[in-house]
Amino acid sequence: MSPLFTPIALRGVTLANRIVVSPMCQYSADRGEANDWHLIHLGHLALSGAGMLCIEATAVEPDGRITPGDLGLWDDATEAALVPVIAAIRRHSPIRIAMQIAHAGRKASSHVPWEGGQLISPADGGWVTHAPSALPHKDGEAPPLALDIDGLKRVREAFRATTRRAARLGIDAIELHAAHGYLMHQFLSPIANQRSDAYGGSRENRMRFPLEVFDAVRAEFPADRPVGVRVSATDWVEGGWTLDDTVAFAQALKAHGADWIDVSSGGVSPLQQIPLEPGYQVPFAQAVKHATGLPTIAVGLITDPLQAHQAIADGDADMIAMARAMLYDPRWPWHAAAQLGASVNAPPQYWRSQPRDQKKLFGETTIGQR
């Protein structure tokens, strides 16, 4: 049996295998509310055979949306809109459901990617953004407002309230988004955080607010359900956040009760220089895992089943998260299982699709048709 297809327990939640459908922004919500697109998108990915499906970055307040189309969970309406989506998944799939909760900070109020992704001014229907410091993400953009103590409290309590709603929806796991240049990452990186108070300056100070937010989330989520964190292991910019910083942050998160670290990179500066190649971020997951002992998720240009298998077999990571590759091939886990001699869960309506030489792909024999 390939270790990619062995179970893993995270607190009281057990995943059937080590494949995670990564959170992928769809920019298709209505005032933060999920709709038919989310039912279709998440519904078909729930039939992928992966061990866990993570709902896209979900804003904790309207001003925390990357775009006006971002999914949110900040009031009764946004909560109610997710009820039928989650209920449909539960009816037809045993997949575990996670939710990534987030605040975009200075990267908020932007056009959707297929319309350029540029900052939208308040005059054009956007809003004033907030960040650790009044530093724009790109030259020429309007600077964000630096969060004061009341603002920090507001954001922290927004994460707390969203977590309560997620728990009420029956979400199995929470992932706090502290990567890709969004608000938590902005506090961590000296590129975005130039505060002179207790939340800026030293690495310990820059870690303070993300750790406070993590504590608020962990306290509100049921003790038998896991909470993980996505991080950017490096900014890929001279003078920015580094892998050594990430290891220190992961060690602190472990002490605060984190259940996994999802290790990505970049996003805080348009000056980043990323050497893209297959599996280029796996060594970051390996470094965090070996330094902390925490379960890690590896991401980034992992598309080949043997590549994913090897990352788990070598102990570089405990799970593999698939994003674009899963959009391109929503049955990637089926095909990986067939190649690696494993089996996956699939709805009985699909059992007859298995190839004749893969009689046990779905754990069942091929069925006929009347």
Q: Using CA atoms of 137, 239, 207, 317 in order, give the dihedral in degrees to the nearest 10.
A: 100
- Alpha-helical (H) ranges within the chain are 36-45, 76-92, 149-169, 183-188, 203-220, 243-255, 282-292, 305-313, 324-328, 332-340
Catalytic residue among 182, 199, 280, 350: 182
Q: What angle do CA 295, 328, 366 make, to 5 degrees?
A: 85
Tell me if residue 14 falls in helix, strand or coil: strand
In the Cβ-directed half-sphere of 338, how many Cα atoms lie within 13 Å? 14
| Rounded Cα gap, residues 154 and 148, in angstroms | 10
Active site residue 182: yes
Max CA-CA distance within the chain?
A: 73
Structure tokens at 27: 């920019």
Give the other-Cβ count within 10 Å of 273's Cβ.
9
**CB-based burial of residue 43 (10 Å sphere; 0-12 exposed, 13-18 middle, 19+ buried)?**
middle
Structure tokens at 228: 């993980």
| Rounded Cα gap, residues 92 and 347, in angstroms | 7
| Rounded Cα gap, residues 103 and 62, in angstroms | 9
What are the residue numbers of the active site? Answer: 182
